[in-house]
Structure 1
């Protein structure tokens, strides 16, 4: 406890500082923001090169394997990463069409694809 007996005002002498309790709301919101930004930065760091994406997409289209596509979507609050599981139905130099398990067709541009993972194919793509 801090000795404030030298102060002329009673309110100043009896003031009890709540320490970090008054900053806790600020800390939590700032901490949450930092966690979200670090998560996004981590996902963006694992992106595949353009050539690697085209190679994997060509193999997936030829073999008609089921894959998980990690797709980046830009929102007003920032970028988020969505995972889609499905089979590649169409491919061209600008975009792909993925057929999901519930027979929905999703279109995504090649620039939105961050990474592709499969169970049927190993890391070599064989």
Structure 2
């Protein structure tokens, strides 16, 4: 059956004919079971045969991926021990600052680096470059 014939046949089958006889209106009609399967279903890649199984596995996979990896993984990452010792360095800085204040020293010594070891350019080498301190 060609495409045109099928289209015309389907078009005419959609409309019921008008009859006035009692016999046609009293007759029982047979119902056929139609499949509720979506014909345009595109699989998520988990199961190519069952839409329900594919959707369930897809939802479970992404739920566990987001929940376990992002939520619990972020929780573990946020509360993990300080591997770079940032907390230790800050505590040590506070202790050193307290020690220097109690000794009457400035927080940072102006001669932290010995000025004799620093080699600065001469005025001739600097020319007219503006130096902002």
Query: Is TM-score (shorter-chain normalized) higher than 0.5?
Result: no
Larger helix fraction of residues: 2
Name which one, 1 or 2, has greater alpha-carbon Rg.
Answer: 2
Higher RCO structure, 1 or 2 (CA under 8 Å, sep 6+): 1
In the superposition, the TM-score normalised over structure 1's length comes to 0.31
